[in-house]
């Protein structure tokens, strides 16, 4: 049967008053403690008052206490097969942990709201239960947690250069630790979109190795991924001769991203194909003498020097054709370097420089 207890002066009479103004009276024992039986009907938030009177009839100051009728909430942290079983709860509450085989462990919640018991050798998929009882005897709801012994997905590292942030992908919520060549580390958490990022330490050099491994909330650790620092800029892309209307083309390092900048500051970006060529649309407003530039960025973020090309909007000199007979080669003159296309009566053509 539940009791209301307290302390006082031995021999004093204690009167306990309930919310409905009914009372209970008892005497403080020689050990300085007293108790009365809890009446039915008390609920969480009710105020109970106790006042003592010594044998000489002197009254003490009344003391109020609010009824606590709510059981403490208990939470269990993610559990791995080798990590302690722990969680959070109401400070001072008693936590009883039940393992899959029926064994139990009991502990008390610390002042900081945490508790922990030893792991008895749990396996993946085991269910662990915990329930809390506060100091006044209220029992809280049961918490459960499933043991997780599966390592998280190995994080991947995006290509790295010596200066930009180091990024990659991984299992959402896992903790990624990046280790640099000098042994220093940086730690971050994988976001909801599966990406992560840490600062570049600023002392990386071409050829350095950077590793990353992930740890999930249960403490399981993934394999390591590694990436070699690329500090070498890609080959400067070249731009083919440009006219005011045709696509702008050129060559560059396969896989690099080429950004073409027009005279008005606008840009177009494309990726160099396997055959080493690239192409972007002509903006349609280029004029003879305009300057167009192109620079490349590799997967690691290194940027090349710029190439430039001047727009040629002037048609070449009209070629002249020498006299023709039915059998000899057809010859003529024209602007050096220009491509001459000869068209025959049947519509076929021949081209030369």
Average pLDDT of span 127-149:
93
Give 3-state DSSP helix, strand, coil % of the chain, rounded to 5: 0, 40, 60
C-alpha dihedral, 189 to 195 to 201 to 205, nearest 10°: 140
DSSP state of 147: B
Report the 3 state secondary structure along 263-324. CCCCEEEEECCCCCEEEECCCCCCCCCCEEEEEEECCCCCECCCEEEECCCCCCCCCEECCC
pLDDT in tens, 261-291: 999 999 999 999 999 999 999 999 999 999 9
pLDDT above 90 (res 44): no
Give the DSSP H/E element, type plus range, for residue 104.
strand 104-108
DSSP state of 83: S
Beta-carbon contacts of residue 22 (< 8 Å; ≥ 6 apart): 39
- For residue 1, the model assigns a pLDDT of 53
Least-confidence region, from 134-138, 207-211, 229-233: 134-138
Give residue 116's pLDDT band: very low, low, confident or very high (50, 70, 90).
Answer: very high
DSSP state of 183: S
- For residue 111, the model assigns a pLDDT of 96
How far apart CA 47 and CA 45 sit, in angstroms, is 6
Q: What is the mean pLDDT of the chain?
A: 95
DSSP state of 326: S
Give residue 138's pLDDT band: very low, low, confident or very high (50, 70, 90).
Answer: confident
The domains of the chain, with CATH numbers, are: 3-66 (2.60.40.10), 75-146 (2.60.40.10), 156-228 (2.60.40.10), 238-310 (2.60.40.10), 320-352 (no CATH)
Contact yes or no for 149/221 (Cβ under 8 A): no
pLDDT above 90 (res 179): yes
Reported pTM: 0.66
């Amino acid at each position: 049967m539940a009791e209301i207890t307290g302390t006082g002066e031995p021999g004093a009479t204690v009167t306990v008053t309930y919310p409905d103004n009914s009372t209970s009276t008892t005497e403080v024992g020689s050990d300085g403690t007293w108790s009365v039986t809890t009446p039915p009907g008390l609920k969480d938030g009710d105020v109970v008052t106790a006042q003592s009177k010594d044998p000489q009839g002197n009254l003490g100051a009344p003391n109020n206490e609010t009824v606590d009728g709510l059981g403490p909430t208990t939470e269990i942290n993610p559990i791995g097969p080798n990590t302690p079983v722990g969680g959070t709860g109401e400070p001072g509450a008693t936590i009883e942990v039940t393992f899959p085989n029926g064994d139990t462990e009991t502990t008390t919640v610390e002042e900081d709201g945490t508790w922990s018991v030893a792991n008895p050798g749990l396996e993946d998929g085991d269910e662990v239960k915990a329930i809390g009882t506060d100091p006044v005897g209220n029992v809280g709801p049961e918490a459960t947690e499933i043991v997780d012994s599966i390592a998280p997905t190995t994080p991947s590292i995006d290509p790295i250069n010596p200066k930009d942030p180091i990024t990659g992908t991984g299992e959402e919520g896992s903790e990624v630790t990046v280790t640099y060549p000098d042994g220093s580390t940086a730690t971050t958490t994988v976001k909801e979109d599966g990406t992560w990022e840490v600062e570049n330490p600023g002392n990386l050099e071409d050829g350095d190795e950077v590793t990353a491994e992930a740890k999930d909330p249960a403490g399981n650790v993934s394999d390591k991924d590694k990436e070699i620092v690329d500090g070498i800029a890609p080959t400067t892309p070249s731009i083919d001769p440009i006219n005011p209307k045709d696509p702008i083309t050129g060559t560059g390092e396969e896989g690099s991203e080429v950004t073409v900048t027009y005279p008005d500051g606008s840009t177009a970006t494309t990726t160099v194909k396997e055959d080493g060529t690239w192409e972007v649309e002509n903006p349609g407003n280029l004029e003879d003498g305009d300057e167009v530039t192109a620079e490349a960025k590799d997967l690691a973020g290194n940027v090349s020097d710029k190439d430039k090309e001047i727009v040629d909007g002037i048609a070449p000199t009209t070629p002249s054709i020498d006299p023709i007979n039915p059998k000899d080669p057809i010859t003529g003159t024209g602007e050096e370097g220009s491509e001459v296309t000869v068209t025959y009566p049947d519509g076929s053509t021949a081209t030369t420089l």
